[in-house]
Amino acid sequence: MITIEKKIYSEKKLIESGKDFSASIKLGDIISVEGELGVGKTTFTKGILFGLGYQGLVQSPTFSIIKTYFFEYFKVHHIDLYRINDDELTNIGIDDYLSTNDVCIIEWFHRGSKVLPSPNRTVNIKYTDTATMRFASFQST
């Protein structure tokens, strides 16, 4: 397992970290993004999408649960499990999203860990002592 740790001082830097992270993404990756409410999981995901070439609006899928972004040869499914439990995952057809070569970025992954396969990559974002600094840990298997 490879672990990279970064201190991030602004939203702009969090987006840049997501862009950097996107360079190592492979088709079929399942990426777990964890962290407290409001820490920047969607902002980091925005950086990933921008790094992959997406130029549109990126919003949190908290209420829609899944937002899909289309690229020329693949899709990225941005999934937010904050309002979902393990039992509900099968009802929304989560297997259909995971059984492709598309990339799945899953916020609050731990809420579905009994049903979901293990992620290929894990990103943990947490606040440090000061509210303006975030600490991100990126792990790959």
Residue spans per domain, the chain: 2-126+136-140
Count Cα atoms within 13 angstroms, Cβ side, for 80.
20
Rounded to the nearest 10°, the torsion over CA 42, 84, 108, 75 is -50
**pLDDT value, residue 11:** 86
Q: Mean pLDDT over residues 24-49, rounded? A: 93
Q: What single-letter DSSP state applies at residue 73?
A: S
Indicate the burial class of 127 (C-beta count within 10 angstroms; 0-12, 13-18, 19 or more).
Answer: middle
Look at residue 139 in the predicted model and tell me its pLDDT: 59
Which tens digits make up the pLDDT trace of 53-102?
999 999 999 888 999 999 999 999 999 999 987 778 878 888 888 888 99
* 1 contacts 120 by C-beta, under 8 angstroms: no
Q: Check residue 1 and give its pLDDT.
A: 56
- Looking at domain 2-126+136-140, its CATH architecture is 3-Layer(aba) Sandwich (3.40)
pLDDT band at 50 (very low <50, low <70, confident <90, very high): very high
Is residue 6 very low, low, confident or very high in pLDDT (cuts 50, 70, 90)? confident
Model confidence at 131: pLDDT above 60? no
Residue 126 has pLDDT above 70, yes or no: yes
Measure the N-to-C terminal CA separation of the chain; round to a whole number of Å: 5
Pairing verdict, β 121-127 and 30-35? parallel
Is it the case that residue 138 has pLDDT exceeding 70? Answer: no
Which residue is it, tokens 């731990």? 110
- Looking at residue 7, what is its pLDDT? 75
